[in-house]
Structures are given as C-alpha cells and as structure tokens.
Amino acid sequence: MTNNERLYRRFKIMNENTFYSLVRNTTEFNNEDKDKINQYVENLKERFQKENSDEYYYSTLSILKNDIMFYKKINKSEAVEILIKTIDPNFDMYQIYYEMGNIKNITEEIKKQFNFFSLEMIKKETDFIKYNQLEDIYSFEKKLIK
C-alpha cells in the first residue's frame, strides 16, 4: 500500500467516523428549509461530477462534517437529509438491505452499485424513512420481503 493510499484510507475512516458520531442520535427530520437542502444537494452534485463512487461519498461526508462542526451552516438533521438526497435519493441501499438475505450478498450488491458500503448510511436512511413515512415503512418492508 502506497503512502497516498494510506492517507486516503485514513481520510475515509476519519470522515465517516466523525460524521456518524456527530449525527448518531439524529432521528427527527422536520427540516423546514427545503430550498436550502435542495440547493446544498445541487451544489454537491455539481462539485463532484463522478456520482456513485467512494470519493463522492467520502468527500460529501467531509464537507457536511465541516459545515456542521466548523462553519455552522447546517444542523445535524439537515446534514443527514442532504447526505441521503445526494448519495442515495431513491433509497437503493435501504431496498437492497431488505431484499437480500445475508450480509455478504448485501455488501457485494451495494459495493457493485455504489463502490462503497456503509451500514451507518443504511441506518440513517431507515431513520429518515421511518420519520417521514412511518405508516408506509411497514408495508414497504413487507413488500420487499415477499
């Protein structure tokens, strides 16, 4: 492993751990400023033209983490909503998680589609769905299990 690869690996681990520790207890998403969130999503998508890559995911985490901690531009629930709408707006990871039987298949399928795997991302998608569509999540899960 080269020095650059080690640095990039450290960058990924540090940003993911810091971001998810910041938003660990975030389960409510009544963000009123939808224009602000949509503008953030558009800016991130324009900034990183290479969607569905690990660079896109980890760089997005880094930006959101800094905007929470240092710049105070967004709150924690806004950051989670922005992350989901930027990386996985159709909740594909969530669907794969509930469609596939074992963790090996889940990990392989998500890595194939997104080039990374994050159980924390799936947990936050689940929280987001539960908060925003509480009555629909159970029928959605039942439909996926069938």
Quick: pLDDT tens for 34-88: 999 999 999 998 988 777 688 899 999 999 999 999 999 999 999 999 999 999 9
pLDDT of 84: 95
pLDDT of 26: 94
* Torsion, CA 7, CA 10, CA 15, CA 20, rounded to 10: 170
Residue 53 near residue 115 (C-beta atoms within 8 A):
yes
Any idea what DSSP says for residue 41? H
pLDDT of 76: 97
Task: State the pTM of this model.
Answer: 0.89
Residue 41 near residue 78 (C-beta atoms within 8 A):
no
* Interval 32-48: pLDDT, tens: 899 999 999 999 989 88
Residue 142 banded pLDDT, cuts 50, 70, 90: low
Domains of the chain, by residue range, sit at 3-145
pLDDT of 119: 94
pLDDT of 137: 54
